[in-house]
Structure 1
Amino acid sequence: MIYTDFSDLSRYYGISENLDTALRFLQQSDLKALQPGRNDVDGEKVYINCFEYETLPWEKTFFEAHEEYADIHFLISGEENIGISAPKVLRETERDPKADFIGYKGEAETLCKMTPEKVLIVFPEEAHMVKVQRCGPMTVQKAVVKVKI
């Protein structure tokens, strides 16, 4: 997991070619111009899902993890918390290999406060709980870059 300021993304070049492509795109693009839904960067290797939602109380959220893709989470507007836990301390509730999705329930071990200045990179098998409200419900515009690892 990498939790950092958007302005410090260049520190993380060299981890993988696909991650470099994603980071370069984030640093060089007008992210507010992204369209809702899927935005292709490099086919199935790197793409961005953009969406808007209301944040939720902890008890209405769940953890997810992936086996093939890393996620780069960043907010275009709004604030949310993202919980992080090791899968071994969570209870698996769902597995869909075709969607690269593993669902979990349990408690967060770490909490990341997300604002438009922050970026969270979670690698395969790092469980993360998104959409968690900070101080009550809030509308969030978010993008998640999917990076094939």
Structure 2
Amino acid sequence: MIHGKTSRPDSYGTLETSVQEVLDYLENNDLAALENGSHVIDGNRLFVNIVSYPTTSPENRFWEAHKDYLDVHVPIEGTEQIDLNFLEDLEVGEYKKEEDFQAAFGPARMHAILRPGDFLVCYPQDAHRTAIAVDGKPEQIRKAIFKVRIG
């Protein structure tokens, strides 16, 4: 996983090309202007989902990981905690290939607090539980989730 600032895209020059493409896209496009839903950038290789939802407690959320796509989370409005753990340290459920969704169960190992101007890259081994209220204070958030095809 990589947690960084979108305002410093040159600081992450060692990132793989596809993640750097996301940072370039952020520099040249206004995410707030996009409507909720899926937006194609480069076919099924790179696209972005714009979503809105309220944050809540961890027990109301689920763990997930992905095998075919990296997730790059970019907040547009609001603050969200994302719980993180290595997939190998969790109990793993069924993988749904058609949804690229790996279920997992267990405790958080660490957390990332995401605010507008931040990004978080989750690789296949990075299980994540999104939409967690920071300091237990729920709020409505809006964010972009870039899906970057692996391989």
Q: TM-score, normalised by structure 2?
A: 0.92
RMSD of the alignment, in Å? 1.3
The Cα offsets for residues 39-84 of structure 1, whole Å up to 9 and x where unpaired, read as 1111111100001101010111111100111111011101110011
Provide the C-alpha distance between the structure 2 equivalents of 1:70 and 1:77, rounded to a whole number of angstroms. Answer: 22
Deviation at 1:5, TM superposition (A): 1.3
* Paired letter, 1:147: V
Gaps of 5+ in 2: none
* Paired letter, 1:49: N
1:20 counterpart residue number: 20
1:119 counterpart residue number: 119
Aligned residue for 1:15, secondary structure, equals: coil
Would the aligned equivalents of 1:13 and 1:19 in 2 still touch at CA under 8 Å?
Answer: no
> Is 86-95 or 63-72 further displaced after alignment?
86-95
Give matches, 1:92-131, under 5 Å. 92-131=92-131
Provide the C-alpha distance between the structure 2 equivalents of 1:128 and 1:78, rounded to a whole number of angstroms. Answer: 18
Deviation at 1:26, TM superposition (A): 1.2
Provide the C-alpha distance between the structure 1 equivalents of 2:13 and 2:20, rounded to a whole number of angstroms. Answer: 5
2:144 counterpart residue number: 143
Aligned residue for 2:8, secondary structure, equals: helix
Give matches, 1:69-80, under 5 Å. 69-80=69-80
Provide the C-alpha distance between the structure 2 equivalents of 1:70 and 1:106, rounded to a whole number of angstroms. Answer: 21
Provide the C-alpha distance between the structure 2 equivalents of 1:75 and 1:119, rounded to a whole number of angstroms. Answer: 7
Give the share of equivalent positions with the same residue, in percent.
Answer: 30
Gaps of 5+ in 1: none
1:37 counterpart residue number: 37
Distance change (3 Å), C-alpha of 1:4 and 1:111: same
Aligned residue for 1:82, secondary structure, equals: strand
2:84 counterpart residue number: 84
